[in-house]
């Protein structure tokens, strides 16, 4: 979808969300959405498993645009892959929320699900450790011990950071276990929705990627380009945004929404 313009908000000053209470995550996610809505998007991706798990229903209720989470697309991809147990790894908040367990039960009631919270994996990725580092492998072996015993047919990498450890996770689990990236599944779902609503950009390439960060833009660009984006896109610009600005946007959105329930104007005609 290289022709699409993307506005990306990274709440770097308040991350990680995965170790915080559901109430706080819901508040932060609502503020983040309120900020993005100022850019009048045709579709919003809640590109964080923790926010998707804790806040999707709240966001759905106030978002006039198409809204894609990163939980249900990954759950559906895992169910389609093969019958047998599905493994899910994620942050503490994602696993404790039970969101993946519920999403899989809705798609395929009775499917066996094995879950494991892996709190050290995000800091390991952000530290920049190589996947062949013995510490990475021993932490994964520790987290995945029970998962190995239960022999899932697929494991959902239920956190944005985990695909960066896919080789190491594959090494620990063995080649017969399919690794499902929640990010890739969500991107495919976003494309499907835009296609369905006739909202795909006519350009094949040349879309702009504008980023906003609540912490240092320099740091955001460095980490983003080095660790996450690869060669897929160029970051056209990174602008600072204050958390106070997010809080104000959040309050305005809640007040507006409270006064007049809306009919999701962007959903039908675009």
Contact mark string toward its own copies, 68..87, x via CB under 8 A: --------------------
Question: In the β-sheet with 237-240, what is the strand arrangement from edge to edge?
Answer: 6-10, 209-213, 237-240
Position 139 contacts its own copies (CB under 8 A): yes
Of 48, 63, 79, 118, the active-site residue reads: 48
# binding residues, its own copies (CB under 8 A): 28
Concerning whether 159 is annotated as a catalytic residue, the answer is: yes
Position 191 contacts its own copies (CB under 8 A): no
Position 138 contacts its own copies (CB under 8 A): yes
Helices (H), the chain: 22-37, 49-62, 72-81, 92-97, 99-107, 121-127, 134-150, 166-173, 182-196, 217-223, 243-259, 265-269
> By the 8 A CB rule, do 158 and 133 touch?
no
How many residues belong to the chain? 270
Concerning whether 79 is annotated as a catalytic residue, the answer is: no
Candidates 243, 254, 257, 267; binder of its own copies (CB under 8 A) is 243
Q: Which is nearer to its own copies, 86 or 223 (CB)?
A: 223
Candidates 2, 3, 23, 256; binder of its own copies (CB under 8 A) is 23
Position 21 contacts its own copies (CB under 8 A): yes
Contact mark string toward its own copies, 193..232, x via CB under 8 A: ---------------------xxx--x-------------
Distance from the Cα of residue 210 to its chain's centroid: 18
Distance from the Cα of residue 49 to its chain's centroid: 4
Interior CA angle at 26 toward 117 and 218, to 5°?
80
> By the 8 A CB rule, do 20 and 95 touch?
no
Position 24 contacts its own copies (CB under 8 A): yes
DSSP state letters, 59-128: HHHH--SEEEESSHHHHHHHHHH-SS-EEEEE-HHHHHHTHHHHHHHHHSTT--EEEEE-TTHHHHHHHT
Position 61 contacts its own copies (CB under 8 A): no
Q: Which range in 62-70, 136-144, 181-189, 195-203 contacts its own copies by CB under 8 A?
A: 136-144
Of 79, 159, 211, 239, the active-site residue reads: 159
Q: How far is the CB of 260 from its own copies (least distance, A)?
A: 24
Contact mark string toward its own copies, 110..129, x via CB under 8 A: ---------xx-xxx-xx--
Q: Which is nearer to its own copies, 96 or 167 (CB)?
A: 96
> By the 8 A CB rule, do 171 and 178 touch?
no
The residues that touch its own copies, with contacts defined as CB under 8 A, are 12-14, 19-21, 23-24, 28, 119-120, 122-124, 126-127, 134-135, 138-139, 142, 214-216, 219, 243-244, 247
Active site residues: 48, 159
């Amino acid at each position: 979808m290289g022709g699409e313009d993307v506005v990306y908000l990274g709440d770097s000053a308040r991350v990680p969300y995965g170790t915080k209470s559901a109430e706080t995550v819901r508040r932060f996610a609502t503020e983040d959405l309120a900020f993005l809505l100022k850019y009048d998007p045709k579709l919003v991706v809640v590109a964080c498993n923790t926010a998707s798990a804790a806040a999707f229903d709240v966001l759905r209720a106030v978002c006039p645009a198409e809204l894609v989470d990163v939980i249900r697309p990954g759950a559906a991809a895992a169910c389609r892959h093969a019958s047998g147990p599905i493994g899910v790894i994620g942050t503490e908040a994602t696993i404790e929320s039970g969101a993946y367990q519920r999403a899989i039960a809705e798609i395929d009631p009775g499917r066996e699900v094995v879950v494991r919270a892996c709190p050290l994996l995000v800091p390991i990725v952000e530290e920049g450790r190589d996947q062949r580092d013995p510490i990475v492998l021993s932490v994964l072996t520790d987290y995945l011990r029970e998962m190995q015993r239960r022999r899932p047919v697929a494991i959902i990498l239920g956190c944005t950071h985990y695909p960066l450890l896919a080789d190491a996770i594959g090494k620990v689990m063995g080649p017969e276990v399919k690794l499902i990236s929640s990010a890739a599944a969500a991107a495919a779902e976003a494309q499907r929705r835009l296609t369905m609503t006739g909202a795909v950009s006519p350009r094949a390439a040349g879309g702009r990627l504008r980023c906003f960060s609540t912490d240092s833009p320099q740091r955001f660009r460095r980490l983003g380009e080095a660790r996450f984006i690869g060669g897929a896109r160029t970051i056209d610009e990174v602008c600072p945004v204050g958390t106070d600005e997010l809080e104000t946007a959040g309050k305005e959105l809640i007040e507006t929404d409270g006064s007049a329930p809306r009919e999701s104007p962007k959903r039908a005609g675009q």
